Structure formats: C-alpha cells, structure tokens
Amino acid sequence: MQDTKIQNVVIVGGGTAGWITASLLAKVLGKSLNISLVESDQIGTIGVGEATIPPIINFNNALGISEAEFLKATNGTIKLGIEFENWGQQNESYMHAFGEIGKNFPFCDFHHFFTKSKQLGSRASFWDYSLNYQAAKNNKFAKITKIEGTNLPGVSYAYHFDAGLYAQFLRKFSENLGVKRIEGMVKKVELNKNTGFVDNLLMADGSTIVGDLFIDCTGLAALLIDKTLNVGFDDWSHWLPCDRAVAVPSESSGSIAPYTRARAHQSGWQWQIPLQNRTGNGLVYSSKHMTDEQAQTVLLDHLPSRPLAEPKVIRFKTGRRRKQWHRNVVSIGLSSGFFEPLESTSLHLIQTAAIRLLKFFPHNGIQLEEIAEFNQQSKAEYISIRDFIILHYKLTERDDSAFWRQCRQMDIPESLQQKLTLFSKTGKVFSQQGDLFTDVAWKQVMIGQGNMPQDHHPLVDSLSTEQIEELMANLKTLINRSVDKMPSHSDFINSL
C-alpha cells in the first residue's frame, strides 16, 4: 500500500490518549523513531477520566513506572471495584468487585454452589465470598496475591487519579525519552493528492509539520480520522441512550473509600470517585429525558461535599469509528469512539490501542492486511465492552421513569441476548478469548441486578447439603479473617 519506511511519528493531541501513546512508543521504539506530539493549550483537554481497571497496573509496569511515585504524582487512590446503587431496583446495590469470588472447581464455577445454597434457603449474598468487596466496604487494602495459607487469589485492584496530573506525569516521562512536544493549533490537515495519505499538518502560525504516520489523539474533535478522512461511525446510542455528562469536583469527604460509586438516578447515573485531595463527581444522562439544568441540580443535590468549581457539561455520542486505522492515520482515545464511563473502559481502550499499534507497527511501510487485522481486533474489543455496558441498563427492573422503561424494553444485540438467556436458564457464562470482562464480572452484574440462574451445574449435587454449607462457611471465614488483618486504605495511602 505504501512502502516508505516509517520514521517520523506525529501524535496530534496531548490528553491522556496522546501522552499514553507517546510514553509507550518512546519506551519501546524511541531509539528508532522520531516522535513528536502536537497539542494546543488553547483548546485544552477533556479533563475527566479518573477511574481505571486492573490492567493499568500491567501497563504502568511495562513502562517501568513506580507505583508509589505514580500515586503521589496523581493524587491517586486504590479502586477495588464499582458499587452500583439503584440499578436493578431502587434502594438495592451490588458491586462489580475486581478479582475472583469464592473458589472455582474444575468444570464447575463457584456461583453454581452459591445458586444451590440459595435454593437451600441461604440468606448469604454473593459478595460475602468476595475478598475485594469485603475489603472495599471495610475501607481496607493490602497488596496480597493469595489469601494466607490457601490457594485462593488475593486482592485485585486498579486506581483512581487526577486525569490532568496523569497526563502531566506521562508528558514528563515521554519528554525524558526524547518525545518532542510542539505547542500550537492544527488549522488544516493536508492530504497527498495521489495516495490520500496525510502529508502534513498546517499550523495556525503558518508552519507545517510533516510525518510518515499520524496518530489522531484529538479527542472528540477527531480532526484526522473523522474531519479529514471521514471513515464513518457506528452509532450505538439506541442501546446506550446517555449522551451528556455534567462533572464537578468536590472537597474530600473524610475517609477515602477504595471503590467507585455509580448511583442510578431517574434518567442517568452519578459517579463518585475519591482521590487523595478531592472527590470527582459527575452525572451521566440522556438529554432526551433530562435538561442540562435538571442534571446540574440532581448532581449538586447529591454531592458528598462542597463543590470546588462550576459544573461543566460534556456532550458525547456512544459508538465507534468504523476504522480505527485508515491510510497513515491511527486514531486512539476519544477520537476513535466513546463509551460512557460506567465501567471505566476508556483509558483501558487507549492502552490496548497503543499496545496493538506497537504489535502491528508498520516500520517498513503500511500494508492493507495489517490495517485490516488491526481494525478487526479493535472492533471485537469495542463490541464485547459495548455488550457488557448495555447489560447494566437492560437488566434494570425499574419502571419509575420513561428512561428506565425504555432501557428495560429495548431490543439488545443478539450476542448479548444469547449470553443473558444462557445464564438465566443454565447458570453458564463464557467469555471469548480476548474479552476484557471476565466471567466473574458478568456474573456479578447479572446476579446483582436480579438475574439469578434457574439451574446449576450437576456436579454441585454430588455434595450433600451439609458439605455445601460447610464449604460456604469456610470460604466466608477465610475471607473475613484476611480482611481483618489488612491495614486501612488511608494507612496505605499515607505510607506512600
């Protein structure tokens, strides 16, 4: 397609997408590439994106970043899961806790034993058997890989942090590895008349920036991939109707919970993310069901503490670019697509896109087959995340507003319908290779929102009632004992 060697990489945009991509490229290929990053202070960044999921730890490790240094620099805290309040029904809650729940057996997962125990009359909750949940609700945290004296997995965690400080941290990291930052606004993207490839960027000051490969990290503006190359967009707003958010930070409110709160309201939901120095808050809502003014009122009425700024409204459309890579442009971050932050997937998608770009890096020229495979992998990743997020809305039992009734009644993708029906009839759930969300994540949302399976695996019936009760009681004891020994989350933060 184009056999020119790729030596000059130009990243357009310096939000978290731009600097994450710059860090990884510079760390791995910095010696053989000239990497520059163009950003405009005048335009600024979106300034939200504070909650993450566990794979971020591997990403930071790959960069060689010290956890303590990173948490100090970004006012970071620990995240053990997301608590969903009022989603299945009002005044009920559950958690998508990271890590495993209970103890899986060969051929038969733990939740089948849990289902049977419920049929036998147990009043226990699924989360009595989650180390992460118990630690989260007790404000505890310790980095343990196994529950002491057992083979049961330990704590799985991610972070909350200040998105702006994270971008600054990665900027310093990238610049130390030779990434050249160019301040300025791109006015026009110029294409080669013969190939249609991007030739250069025309800047507001009249200068031009040339490159071989351009990474579009311009956020919702999508200046290269959409405004210039117009690759098309798969709009998923009929499944995920929220299209706006209003965000505001508030003062720190006492002890710092090691989990995100996602509280459903009448026509959307509210996030609450505790950082070391403040709390991040926002309301995600559907503009068809709520005005911006109503959304601001709901948010301000439900803040945990005094606001620290004026609320800021952000508009978005859920979906993905049909091609994440087209010609010599790769889009990463908000320019490539958007999911509301319900399961904190956007920063993760940036990291996987940056990793994928490295795996597919076209050092000897850009080949169509490479682009096709890259785009296929991105699409599969987006679709599996899409289904998981829709699940939260579809499984609501609320009928107190037009918004929730619409969610309950909507048609869902066939891939999701199949998964839901399989689980409710048989208790079985299978993720595909490469899926971000594990079986246990799916089970928590399904059970948490009232979709208990009607059946369990036959292996469970080989145990007597007493044996099942003993198994459940032992697990609970081991988990509680382990949590009792953990220091508080605040102690961990203070020890940094």
Is residue 185 within the footprint of ligand FAD (CB under 6 A)?
yes
- Write down the residue that tokens 């125990």 correspond to: 117
**Residue from 10, 14, 103, 389 binding ligand FAD (CB under 6 A):** 14
CA 36/CA 24 separation, integer angstroms: 13
Integer CA distances (angstroms), 126 to 335, 422, 447, 458, 470, in order? 38, 19, 8, 20, 16
CA 161/CA 276 separation, integer angstroms: 8
**Residue from 11, 18, 21, 289 binding ligand FAD (CB under 6 A):** 18
Q: In the complex, what is the shortest distance from the CB of residue 224 to ligand FAD, in angstroms, rounded to a whole number? A: 10
Is residue 346 within the footprint of ligand FAD (CB under 6 A)?
yes
> How many residues in the shown chain lie near ligand FAD by CB under 6 A?
38
CA 145/CA 420 separation, integer angstroms: 32
**Residue from 344, 444, 449, 482 binding ligand FAD (CB under 6 A):** 344
Please identify which of the residues 27, 31, 72, 79 carries the catalytic annotation.
79
Is residue 233 within the footprint of ligand FAD (CB under 6 A)?
no
Taking CB positions, which residue lies at the least distance from ligand FAD?
15
Distance, CA of 278 to chain centre: 21
Is residue 215 within the footprint of ligand FAD (CB under 6 A)?
no
Q: What is the CA radius of gyration of the chain?
A: 23
Is residue 38 within the footprint of ligand FAD (CB under 6 A)?
yes
257-274: string of b/e by CB count within 10 Å (b at 16+)? bbbbbbbbbbbbbbbbbb
Judged by CB under 6 A, the chain residues 461 through 490 that form the site for ligand FAD are: none
Task: Using the minimum distance from each CB to ligand FAD, give the nearer residue, 136 or 486.
Answer: 136
Is residue 247 within the footprint of ligand FAD (CB under 6 A)?
yes
What angle, 0 to 180 degrees and rounded to 10, lies between the N-to-C axes of helices 163-176 and 16-29?
30
- Bridge partners, 209 (sequence order): 201
Task: Using the minimum distance from each CB to ligand FAD, give the nearer residue, 43 or 422.
Answer: 43
276 touches 77 (CB < 8 A) = yes
188 is catalytic: no
Judged by CB under 6 A, the chain residues 278 through 297 that form the site for ligand FAD are: 282
Is residue 223 within the footprint of ligand FAD (CB under 6 A)?
yes
User: Can you give the binding site for ligand FAD, defined by CB under 6 A?
Assistant: 13-18, 38-40, 43-46, 48-52, 163, 185-186, 217-219, 221, 223, 245, 247, 282, 314, 316, 333-335, 341, 344, 346-347
